[in-house]
Structure 1
């Protein structure tokens, strides 16, 4: 599809898209938007950074423009997302798409005082972006009514399930049972969790799995450095922060490690921002704003930020600590190389984490090779990966069946 005009969107929406710098729909947008505009339920998956947000905001906005809210009821479109950061980023995209229309967008998430929520809900926004937990609180307190919801979107449904929101989301879906359309987006459609989730809330959905074009695919070069110890790892991190990165997200596994590293880098003169769990919302937004504006070039984060950071010019991702799973690794490195841009992902791996080399290669189906910085060569050799042999299972001899003696024969 050569342009957005072929999708039969209103001129106001097309003008907004062109102002945002997009001339043609991505693969996921081309697949989803026509069916979504026909009111069909959607089950879709697409890699990060391929325009997934616009794939649901555009048809939702077109529906609201085609059928205006003359009674000024509460929100008619609801988008549920797993994290606060993602909620604000989806809202930012929605506002840009709706900038030439009269449609309004609101956000409700945990970590924000209820007075702000009250203002949002009383303003009768057209599109509401919310995290499940906080929205359910408003439903239970009867400060939000789902009966006006006509379009429901679940973004990153797999992540919502991972975070334990399955029951909450099902409750919200039941409250919004008068809706006309539901769209569910997930990074992957594999696994029983997402499929069972979809079966419960979607009606005869159209399934779309986007295969991005070469232009859309993330061009992320990835490698690892073998580290002798913590000091060697720190030296490699500081080398890259000083010499190779323009804008970098550094991932660590715990809040304790985050604060250790934050203080350490700050003492060396690095300007940094950081993100972690259980962080006041105003501080989260300030950290992201500082990083997005370029005021700070380095963002240190725990995996709370692995999904939800959408900064177009992140040149590097550095895994200071390896994550808990290969899928999380993929989401981490997805913070760079977005929308076809080039990016670099570097992992700092000590001997006790060397198993990750094989795990990453198997999960991504790509080579994961070591590189060396001349002045910081490792002194130790890489451990040998020993494949575990499956124990031989001895075949059990079938037990001889005993003849059944009936009571009358006794």
Structure 2
């Protein structure tokens, strides 16, 4: 063998011993080199086979194209990510190896790897086909759903809306609830007849017999709100009322008529109505009016005011075995009422339907043995579960336990100077309260001197909790400035002597001592005949009496009776007679001493000009008190456009001053006991 032949044989052996380039390329795909000079045409040469291209995967999520676009994008993305680079075979290498036999174990092992790789590719392609079917199946539906245009609604128009209710004006600086800051006002000209209301025939007959045909403004406002309404179920809760009306305006009749109308058909006597008043005199007056209206009925009206012994009074207000039927309507003072609640075990308020508080400002401003809390607790007590007569257990029978008395009672709170102090009213536990004011807000506010001091004195006149004040429209007010306070008794005697009014005169002082001293000085001065004697008439001898808290009740009651009968011409008193006393013949009210506040003034002058009658008031004001009058009483709202008339003092000659000095000396000797 030649050298050439040996070299050729060694070359073939070396080629046979080297690994197959094609198999190696298939088993381990090589990473192509990036050629930046040529365009990227083949995607197999751009990325590695192990990396999933993010740009192609993003196209899978975009299914808003047509069916063909979705399918092509999915196929292209998944196929590109799964392709394996094809081996690059040299031209001088034979690629057809079908007829060749494996020359070694390495070749057989490489062939098995190729088969495993093909099987893996088939598995991946199978998963891809399933995934493509899901994407293609859901893609067009979503695209179609979004492609459907939204049709505009046809024939729909806004429904007609009712007019918006007017929004009440609210003072942002006010701390009062709406029912106090915005009361319901009633004009004084509103006086319809009683027949226009749904009153029982029996009560209409009694009113006609007593001479009442037309209502007063407060009655015309309260009767529709308090009378039973047959259109509503009996259990329908109704509002509690607060009433501000001038003294003598008919408040008593406005709550007695609804109470009597609701109790005319009662069967078993119980305490159905409780009327609380501050004084014995007012309680007696209310009882007398109620008896007049309830004449001819079986209703019993009684009082608990302490004028009788406790045991005797107890028999008159509760039913017992002796034969007493109890009181259907009980009129009580707060102190005596608390005594019955605490010490009378048979007395109960569980049947109460009406609770009336008259002269509420005075009753709420004083404790009176904490009557508000005690009465409130009594009304809050739950009813007993056992029947009072047979001892029947309601709860054991599966029946509902009865309600408390507070759930059924109707409350009416009245005053000529109704307080707007929320703290005082809170103890009454009012339900849906409503405030009725008779010509309060609509009245005129007139200063005595005609000046406008609102900017300077507004802080004094209005504290934010101002009372609801009201004066009779038929009241004539006169103001007398007194520069020398030591001459006030002489000035008053001279005014009375020159006046046309000779009877029905009520004089108010600040203390019991001042009332007694003034009464004696007037008697001494009148004895000297200070007044001018009229032609054809003799000088009148005045009859003077004193009613103060240091007097016995019998004496006070006797003086009141004589004054009503005009047996007494001048009655001098403290504020004891300012409330709860009806004096029909009172023609002239004199404020000898300045009242403590606007409320006392209103109640004092309210003893006259009652029930639409005319009346006159004089006020003797010292110079040191004048400013308070301008900012206090002068600011009270009035229906009378004339306001307060400022008058001049009578002339005092030397003779009158001499008589006055002699009267003072005699009074001094009497006091000293000489």
The answer to whether TM tops 0.5 is yes
**Structure-2 residue corresponding to 1:13:** 203
Match among 491, 511, 522 for residue 236 of structure 1: 491
**Structure-1 residue corresponding to 2:269:** 72
Offset from partner CA, 1:173-192 (integer Å, 9 cap, x none)? 33134153221113344522
Q: For residues 15 and 376 of structure 1, do their structure 2 counterparts lie closer, same or farther at Cα, with a shift above 3 Å needed?
A: farther
Match among 377, 389, 397 for residue 174 of structure 1: 377
Q: Is the 8 A contact 2:192 2:215 kept in 1?
A: yes
Deviation at 1:81, TM superposition (A): 0.9
Deviation at 1:58, TM superposition (A): 0.5
Deviation at 1:324, TM superposition (A): 0.7
Q: For residues 166 and 185 of structure 1, do their structure 2 counterparts lie closer, same or farther at Cα, with a shift above 3 Å needed?
A: farther
Alpha-carbon distance in structure 2 between the residues aligned to 1:279 and 1:176: 37
Match among 173, 186, 198 for residue 415 of structure 2: 186
Q: For residues 203 and 141 of structure 1, do their structure 2 counterparts lie closer, same or farther at Cα, with a shift above 3 Å needed?
A: same
Tell me if 1:301 matches 2:573.
yes
Alpha-carbon distance in structure 2 between the residues aligned to 1:169 and 1:275: 30
Match among 251, 255, 277 for residue 52 of structure 1: 251
**Structure-1 residue corresponding to 2:446:** none
**Structure-1 residue corresponding to 2:543:** 271
Offset from partner CA, 1:272-297 (integer Å, 9 cap, x none)? 33332354332232221111122112
Residue 581 of structure 2 aligns to a residue whose secondary structure is coil
**Structure-1 residue corresponding to 2:215:** 25
Match among 134, 142, 154 for residue 357 of structure 2: 154
Q: For residues 278 and 115 of structure 1, do their structure 2 counterparts lie closer, same or farther at Cα, with a shift above 3 Å needed?
A: farther
Tell me if 1:375 matches 2:651.
yes
Deviation at 1:146, TM superposition (A): 2.1
Residue 264 of structure 2 aligns to a residue whose secondary structure is helix
Deviation at 1:90, TM superposition (A): 1.5
**Structure-2 residue corresponding to 1:205:** 433
Deviation at 1:113, TM superposition (A): 3.6
Cα root mean square deviation, aligned: 2.7
Q: For residues 200 and 348 of structure 1, do their structure 2 counterparts lie closer, same or farther at Cα, with a shift above 3 Å needed?
A: closer
Alpha-carbon distance in structure 1 between the residues aligned to 2:220 and 2:426: 22
Q: Which runs of 5+ in 1 are unaligned?
A: 378-410
Alpha-carbon distance in structure 2 between the residues aligned to 1:374 and 1:260: 22
Q: Is the 8 A contact 1:111 1:281 kept in 2?
A: no
Alpha-carbon distance in structure 2 between the residues aligned to 1:260 and 1:116: 39
Q: For residues 376 and 110 of structure 1, do their structure 2 counterparts lie closer, same or farther at Cα, with a shift above 3 Å needed?
A: farther
Residue 242 of structure 2 aligns to a residue whose secondary structure is strand
Hey, which of these two has a bigger chunk of strand by percent? 1
Instruction: Give the 5 Å matches for 1:256-295.
Output: 256-267=513-524, 268=527, 270-277=542-549, 279-295=551-567
Query: Which deviates further from its counterpart, 261-270 or 155-164?
Result: 261-270
Offset from partner CA, 1:7-61 (integer Å, 9 cap, x none)? 2111221122222222111121111112212373222221211110011100011
Q: Is the 8 A contact 1:42 1:208 kept in 2?
A: yes
Deviation at 1:63, TM superposition (A): 0.7
Q: Is the 8 A contact 2:314 2:344 kept in 1?
A: no
Q: For residues 97 and 173 of structure 1, do their structure 2 counterparts lie closer, same or farther at Cα, with a shift above 3 Å needed?
A: farther
Deviation at 1:100, TM superposition (A): 3.3
Alpha-carbon distance in structure 1 between the residues aligned to 2:331 and 2:473: 27
Query: Which deviates further from its counterpart, 359-368 or 136-145?
Result: 359-368
Alpha-carbon distance in structure 2 between the residues aligned to 1:80 and 1:210: 22
**Structure-2 residue corresponding to 1:405:** none
Alpha-carbon distance in structure 1 between the residues aligned to 2:604 and 2:511: 15
Residue 617 of structure 2 aligns to a residue whose secondary structure is strand
Offset from partner CA, 1:57-92 (integer Å, 9 cap, x none)? 0001111113x1x3333x221100122221111112
Deviation at 1:322, TM superposition (A): 0.6
Offset from partner CA, 1:332-356 (integer Å, 9 cap, x none)? 1111111221111101122232234
Alpha-carbon distance in structure 1 between the residues aligned to 2:652 and 2:562: 31
Query: Which deviates further from its counterpart, 97-106 or 184-193?
Result: 184-193
Deviation at 1:137, TM superposition (A): 0.9
Match among 349, 357, 374 for residue 621 of structure 2: 349
Deviation at 1:374, TM superposition (A): 4.1
Deviation at 1:320, TM superposition (A): 0.8
Tell me if 1:35 matches 2:234.
no
**Structure-1 residue corresponding to 2:287:** 91
Offset from partner CA, 1:277-327 (integer Å, 9 cap, x none)? 354332232221111122112221111221112112211000110111122
In the superposition, the TM-score normalised over structure 2's length comes to 0.51
**Structure-1 residue corresponding to 2:656:** none
Greater relative contact order (Cα < 8 A, sep 6+): 1
Offset from partner CA, 1:378-400 (integer Å, 9 cap, x none)? xxxxxxxxxxxxxxxxxxxxxxx
Tell me if 1:363 matches 2:645.
no
Alpha-carbon distance in structure 1 between the residues aligned to 2:303 and 2:614: 31
Q: Is the 8 A contact 2:372 2:427 kept in 1?
A: no
Q: Is the 8 A contact 1:33 1:59 kept in 2?
A: yes
Q: For residues 200 and 125 of structure 1, do their structure 2 counterparts lie closer, same or farther at Cα, with a shift above 3 Å needed?
A: closer
Q: Is the 8 A contact 1:150 1:180 kept in 2?
A: yes
Residue 375 of structure 1 aligns to a residue whose secondary structure is coil
Alpha-carbon distance in structure 2 between the residues aligned to 1:17 and 1:228: 50
**Structure-2 residue corresponding to 1:105:** 301
**Structure-2 residue corresponding to 1:4:** 194
Residue 636 of structure 2 aligns to a residue whose secondary structure is helix
Tell me if 1:82 matches 2:278.
yes
Deviation at 1:196, TM superposition (A): 4.7
